[in-house]
Chains A and B, each alone.
Chain A
Amino acid sequence: MSQRALDVSALPTIAYGPRASIWWGVLGLVAIEGSALAIVGVSYLYLRQNFVAWPPPGTPLPALGAATGDLVVLLASIVPMAIVDRLARAERRRPVAIGLGVMVLLGLASLALRALQFAGALGCRWDSHAYGSVVWTLLGMHAAHVLTSTLENALLMAVLVVGPVERKDFVDAHVNAFYWYFIAAVWVPTYALVYLAPRFL
């Protein structure tokens, strides 16, 4: 069969980045969730046209403290996630598990800061007016992504601790990192839209 065969048995069984199919699956997820967030962002600007004052009278400008802390945590978290990413490619079981543990803590910190934003910093409820509805939705959607990714990191950490560990688990850690970069990065425009735009635009 040698003449008419293309033997692939020597090819590797693991690949990272765009070579891996799961990476493309996560890219699809990022495209979907990015589109959804963008559409809510556009809705925010659309609804703003209906208001003379934005936020509406009686609602303060959203306080910056907790949200800026959230920004710092999320941007800083890219560093440990990138380290996890590199360790995963080296298939280092225990360091990856520890790194994911750090990421779970950072995810929880972001969620705690988000809770503070809902509890006070926004200065309105979702049912106060359309402004309240759309800022709660923007922040809530993003928080849902942070929560989802944090749970994924926790689950993967548990797999690495308990075992049996498969090589593909490291690819999973790698794509978790990819997803987390998106979540952290997309907070920048979300933060700018909700917290800075009403002040400066």
Chain B
Amino acid sequence: MSSTVGPTSTLAPGEAARETLDRAALERVWSTPPGFLGWLTSASHKSVALRYIVTAFGFFALGGVLAALMRLQLTRPESRLIGPDLYNQIFTMHGSTMMFLFAVPVMEAFGIYLVPLMIGTRNVAFPRMNNFGYWIYLFGGLMLWTAFALDIGPDTGWFAYVPLSGPAYSPGKRVDIWAQLITFTEIAALVAAVELIVTTLKMRCPGMSLNRMPLFVWAMLVTAFMVIFAMPAIMVASTMLAMDRLVDTHFFNPAEGGDALLWQHLFWFFGHPEVYIIFIPATGFVSTIVSTFARRRIVGYPAMVLALIATGFLGFSLWVHHMFAVGLPQLGEAFFTAASMMIAIPSGIQVFCWLATLRGGRIVMRAPLLWALGFIALFVIGGLTGVMTAAVPLDLQLHDTYFVVAHFHYVLIGGALFPLLGAVLFWLPKMCGRMPDERLGRVSFWITFVGFNLTFFPMHLLGLGGMPRRVYTYARDAGLTTGNVVASAGAVVLTAGILVFLANVAWTLRRGAPAGDDPWGAETLEWATASPPPSYNFAYLPTVDGQAPLWSTQERPVVTGLRTDVREVLITDGVDATPDHRHRLDGASVWPFLTAVAATIGVVTALFTPWGVTIGSLLALVTLTGWFWPRGAPAHETVEQRP
């Protein structure tokens, strides 16, 4: 636990004593209040992020149970185990849970935990907003699952196409629940995105110019920008849908000039970038893991950064490839085919950079790297089937079949879940201070890898054989039984792999060997502090002079002169990260939680009456006033009246 970054730092005796005093002062100021109140009010990026991660994995488990139920149903042809109505709810809940309550939040949560540590600061830019975002996310998830438990779970798919989801064909509250789930998760995602952008641009430690930023931080920055420009589309669309259903607007009602295809455009203008919102953070995990265990910096850092940014832009020009079957002009389809194929270029650049890094590295084969390598293999397969479906004639044949299910599970599980599980193993020592078991890590990887392929590879063939998606059963003589039996058997193996993984995590938390500051010999700043990091992250903020600060042999100065009696952070220039000013962050407060409660009351009431919006706004006005009302600022920051 040294106060400088770099391997050669030493402290003079007087400095050691001063550091002890500073640490004690910082701990008093930055620590989260203990107990239940601390849990409600925390303004620590680490405790909020850990809650986010645990909650997201809770929803992952629920979504996984639904997947298991679907596999159970489809194991036999003409099964009567689950009826069509419940099956519709199950696949809708599975998709909505995995996309909105697991994949996006868990990636942003890793960003919220890691970005401040990686860029060498004490917290995120808006700690109370961060806490608010978590509660909104949790309440949205609870609303969805409560509704499902009451048999009013949404049942029109995670994409909720009109006219099926409109007032004429889906009376009742099921689709309204879905639309309001979007409201919750979109608020939470946008809060986290703004949080990550501002933290990244304004709080990097001195010396960390943009061209020295870790690739994971770049990945989160691009992701956060994508969230900001993609989420408004679904926010607008779901609001239009809710209004069509609740106050008789006609956005999607053709009888009054509305348009069902408008929904598809708006949904996929969000929905396609969403895939990259999930995938790009995963590439950040992979870059970090590959570089650590190849013992060298990533080959082609500028190419990697440009590939991330290119993916961010191109991700917005692909949405129509989800709509090839609706009969759009062929010229437009050709454009989107070209764009869809073009996105393979930046993805390919990244894959080749990882391979080149590994090829010339001194590889240390550890479990996190295994997950990253598994990702590369599976993502290439998923990417190739993506290029296949980008071709309009093939897409028309494969649309709405299990081929597409196979494709996007390769992309999402192979492309995002594998790196995520690798990331869990990789950063678990930092988060809890204990080492995961290497053997269990490897065993769980191989079981999961085999189970995953066994489950999803046959779905390519089922799709080619004509099995439609989202149908609760299939005929005995359709020739689909074998593939489905294999897929269901694979699901059992896959589940076993995940359970072994979770057992490893549980074992690590209780029994893992102490990790120390930097057990993997990694290069980025989160490993320059204790595991788990203290509430203030660093006793003295670091400075850097290169991309791999911990691999530098040069001793670097640390930042001094930040106050230790208030939550003060250093704000730096957005490009060069030169120190600009000192800034006091807000501390723990119960108002973000109360504001989330107010918003939840409003949104849930709006399921039944448009007055919910008014009620929620008035309640939020009260809580926001409490939130921002000044109370007990330190004397040096208050001002006398100067007329």
- Seen from chain A, the residues whose Cβ lies within 8 Å of a Cβ on chain B are 1, 3-15, 18-21, 24-25, 28-29, 31-33, 35-36, 39-40, 43, 46-47, 50-51, 56, 91-95, 126-134, 136-137, 151, 155, 159, 163-169
Contact = CB atoms under 8 A, between A and B. Distances in A.
Nearest to B643: A94
Interface string B223-249: 000001101110110011001100111
B510 interface: no
B251 A36 contact: no
11 contacts: A13-B583, A20-B583, A28-B228, A29-B194, A40-B236, A47-B259, A47-B262, A93-B641, A127-B247, A130-B257, A133-B258
B228 A32 contact: yes
B38 interface: no
A103 B126 CA distance: 26
Q: A21, A25, A33, A164: which has the most chain B beta carbons within 10 Å? A: A21
B236 A43 contact: yes
Nearest to B269: A39
A8 B228 contact: no
A164 B562 CA distance: 24
A43 B4 CA distance: 55
B7 interface: no
Given A8-B579, A29-B194, A133-B244, 9 more contacts: A4-B555, A6-B560, A18-B574, A21-B571, A36-B236, A127-B249, A130-B249, A159-B630, A165-B638
Q: How large is the interface on B (under 10, 10 to 19, 20 to 34, 35 or more residues)?
A: 35 or more
Nearest to B186: A32
B561 A8 contact: yes
Given A5-B558, A131-B257, A137-B243, A32 B190 contact: yes
B250 A133 contact: yes
Which 8 A-B pairs give the minimum distances between C-beta atoms?
A: A9-B561, A133-B249, A28-B194, A130-B257, A36-B232, A35-B232, A127-B248, A130-B258
Q: Is the interface of B mostly helix, strand, loop or mixed?
A: mixed
B290 to A, nearest CB: 31
A33 B194 CA distance: 13
Nearest to B629: A159
A169 B236 contact: no
A4 B581 contact: no
Interface of B: 4, 9, 12, 15, 18, 125-126, 190, 193-194, 197-198, 201-203, 206, 228-229, 231-233, 235-236, 239-240, 243-244, 247-251, 253-254, 256-259, 262, 265-266, 269, 540, 543, 555-562, 568, 570-571, 574, 579-584, 621, 624-625, 628-630, 633, 637-639, 641-643
Nearest to B12: A1
B251 A130 contact: yes
Contact of A169 (B243, B266, B540, B630): B630
Contact of B253 (A93, A130, A137, A169): A130
Nearest to A151: B621
Contacts of B557: 3-6
Nearest to B638: A164
A7 B561 contact: yes
Contacts of B4: 4
Contacts of B579: 6, 8, 11
Given A126-B249, A166-B637, A56 B257 contact: yes
Nearest to B124: A21
A177 to B, nearest CB: 17
A44 to B, nearest CB: 10
Given A5-B558, A93-B641, A14 B581 contact: yes
Contact of B232 (A11, A32, A47, A165): A32
B125 A21 contact: yes
Contacts of B555: 4
B78 to A, nearest CB: 43
B639 A93 contact: yes
Contacts of B583: 13, 15, 20-21
A39 B236 contact: yes
Given A13-B583, A21-B203, A32 B231 contact: yes
Contacts of B18: 1
A155 B628 contact: yes
A134 B239 CA distance: 12
A151 B620 CA distance: 12
Given A43-B262, A91-B639, A92-B643, A15 B581 contact: yes
Contacts of A51: 257
A13 B190 CA distance: 28
B198 A21 contact: yes
Given A7-B561, A8-B562, A127-B248, A35 B571 contact: no
B126 A43 contact: no
B642 A165 contact: no
Nearest to A164: B638
B638 A24 contact: no
A46 B543 contact: no
B126 A25 contact: yes
B641 A4 contact: no
Contact of A159 (B231, B543, B560, B628): B628
A39 B232 contact: yes
A46 B265 contact: yes
Contact of A28 (B198, B247, B638): B198
A155 B198 CA distance: 24
Contacts of A9: 560-562
A134 to B, nearest CB: 7
A58 to B, nearest CB: 12
Contact of B637 (A5, A7, A39, A168): A168
Given A5-B559, A137-B240, A47 B251 contact: yes
Contacts of A168: 584, 637
A6 B206 CA distance: 9
Nearest to B252: A130
B630 A166 contact: yes
B643 A15 contact: no
A19 B628 contact: no
A133 to B, nearest CB: 4
Given A13-B584, A15-B581, A19-B580, A25 B198 contact: yes
